[in-house]
């Protein structure tokens, strides 16, 4: 039993935190609502301390929610087939195709060739490359692909640390550029569909988030390059050319981009084709298994699909549905309404600050699943723009730069051995505050107008 001691301890910690949350919540909410908060706390702790595999914890709502009379099995399980999940599944297939053909290396090499071989130039090139790749690949995959390049460009430990952080921060920043870039984006779109709100089309999303991404990438570059001498950094030029399979994947990606652009609804100029984006991405992902492409093979490549992340999405949507079904979202909203008399921009800052620093210590997927229904109810009852407030919260959930446990890119940067916690906190707290400021400003003066 000694070999399981650490695992039992972590599970016990989750149960204890869940019981504490239940008892505290019982002072304010009814028994069912308090039970849901206790179960959510248990799930969040287990996600955070990794007592059980991510996929296992993510499937627990199917067992726990009916067991404690939160919502029944059917109402829980149906969320694991949310249409948004299939959009992300198609994205995973495309990402695997890019990795398998090593197209990402070609793209990264070409992007790195554009910038000068100075510390600032390299930092910006890594942040930008990571940002763009993470808009279509997972930020975890992007960081893993680029971190080795960042570490071998120079032998200077100080520069290695800055380059590693540039990759990690760039991956987190760029994930919000597209709806499929990161989990909170997907959860937001799923909740908008559930409430029959007008969803944000793929290219409209890019148009809205691009200014924020560029501002944050610029901020990261200047922050990480402070105090560095502007010396030249020699880097070997790649003579790599595209092979046949890489050209096939590049053709698919280009075709996908064109189709998404034509399909996008850009008000008031173009109504789009009306095709479902989940179907489009899944179709292009499946094409990789078919002739004349034949890039992926089901037996060997399907195991690379991160099904645990898909289960995580299902858990997130289940939490959101449970939150609303038992009236907990409206109950919490009634308490938050006490501050809705404040100016909308102050409310936006409050939401942004709460989400940004809370996501440092918990899963951004779980956090957005919990908070978006609450924010929706508050905005609805206060008569303010629901989509704007939920989008600010979703974007803030992806912008956690302070701690290695906050997001996989931060953890990967730490695992490189060149980044220390104090370094990440020193730069991360500044980027957190900058992120809050820029998100709220862009939300108030740009998103509010176009939504």
d(CA 162, CA 150): 9
Place of tokens 């909740």: 191
pLDDT tens digit at each of 451 positions of the chain: 566 888 999 999 999 999 999 999 999 899 999 999 999 899 888 887 878 988 899 899 999 999 999 999 999 999 998 887 887 788 788 878 887 888 877 776 676 677 777 888 889 989 998 998 888 777 877 787 788 778 777 778 888 899 999 999 999 999 999 887 888 898 898 888 888 888 888 888 999 999 999 999 999 999 999 988 666 666 555 556 888 999 999 999 889 878 877 886 655 556 668 788 788 889 999 999 999 999 999 988 888 887 887 888 788 888 878 887 888 877 776 777 777 777 888 888 988 998 898 888 666 777 788 788 888 887 877 777 889 999 999 999 999 898 886 787 887 887 777 888 788 889 999 999 999 999 999 999 999 888 7
d(CA 397, CA 389): 13
Residue 82: what pLDDT? 84
Residue 133: what pLDDT? 83
d(CA 447, CA 451): 6
CA end-to-end distance (rounded Å), the chain: 56
What the block records as the tokens of 36 is 């849901």
Residue 212: what pLDDT? 97
SS3 431: helix
d(CA 184, CA 313): 9
Place of tokens 């560095």: 228
266 forms beta bridges with 270
Residue 267: what pLDDT? 53
Residue 2: what pLDDT? 63
d(CA 142, CA 168): 9
* Residue among 395, 314, 367, 416 nearest 48 (CA): 367
d(CA 150, CA 154): 8
Residue 235: what pLDDT? 57
Count how many Cα atoms sit within 13 Å of the Cα of residue 442 in the half-sphere of its side chain. Answer: 21
d(CA 394, CA 388): 10
């Amino acid at each position: 039993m000694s070999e399981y001691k650490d695992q039992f301890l972590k599970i016990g910690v989750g149960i204890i935190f869940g019981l504490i949350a239940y008892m505290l919540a019982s002072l304010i909410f009814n028994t069912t609502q308090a039970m849901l908060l206790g179960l959510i706390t248990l799930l969040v702790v287990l996600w955070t301390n990794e007592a059980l595999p991510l996929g296992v914890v993510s499937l627990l709502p199917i067992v726990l929610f009916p067991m404690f009379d939160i919502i029944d099995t059917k109402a829980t399980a149906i969320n694991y087939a949310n249409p948004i999940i299939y959009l992300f599944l198609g994205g995973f297939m495309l990402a695997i195709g890019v990795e398998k053909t090593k197209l990402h290396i070609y793209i990264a090499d070409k992007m790195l060739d554009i910038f000068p071989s100075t510390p600032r130039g390299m930092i910006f090139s890594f942040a930008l490359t990571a940002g763009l790749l993470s808009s279509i690949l997972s930020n975890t995959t992007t960081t893993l692909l680029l971190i080795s390049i960042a570490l071998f460009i120079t032998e200077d430990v100080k520069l290695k640390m800055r380059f590693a952080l540039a990759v990690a921060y760039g991956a987190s920043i760029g994930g919000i550029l597209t709806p499929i870039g990161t989990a909170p984006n997907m959860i937001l779109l799923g909740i908008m569909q559930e409430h029959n709100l007008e969803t944000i089309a793929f290219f409209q999303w890019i148009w809205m988030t691009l200014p924020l991404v560029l501002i944050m990438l610029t901020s990261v570059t200047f922050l990480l390059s402070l105090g560095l001498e502007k010396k030249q950094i020699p880097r070997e030029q790649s003579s790599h050319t595209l092979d046949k399979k890489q050209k096939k994947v590049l053709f698919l990606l280009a075709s996908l981009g064109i189709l998404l652009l034509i399909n996008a609804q850009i008000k008031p100029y173009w109504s789009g084709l009306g095709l479902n984006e989940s179907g489009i991405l899944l179709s292009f992902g499946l094409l990789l298994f078919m002739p004349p492409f034949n890039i992926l093979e089901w037996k060997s490549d399907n195991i690379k699909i991160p099904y645990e992340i898909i289960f995580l999405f299902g858990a997130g949507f289940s939490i959101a549905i449970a939150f609303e079904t038992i009236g907990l979202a409206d109950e919490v909203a009634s308490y938050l309404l006490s501050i809705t008399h404040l100016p909308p921009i102050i409310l936006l800052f409050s939401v942004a600050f709460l989400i940004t620093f809370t996501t440092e210590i918990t899963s951004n997927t779980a956090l957005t699943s919990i908070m978006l229904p609450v924010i929706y109810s508050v905005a609805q009852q206060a008569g303010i723009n629901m989509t704007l407030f939920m989008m600010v919260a979703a974007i803030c959930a992806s912008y956690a730069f302070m701690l290695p446990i906050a997001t996989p890119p931060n953890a990967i940067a730490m695992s490189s051995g060149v980044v220390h916690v104090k370094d990440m906190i020193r730069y991360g707290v500044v980027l957190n505050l900058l992120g809050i400021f820029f998100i709220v400003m862009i939300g108030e003066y740009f998103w509010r107008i176009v939504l």
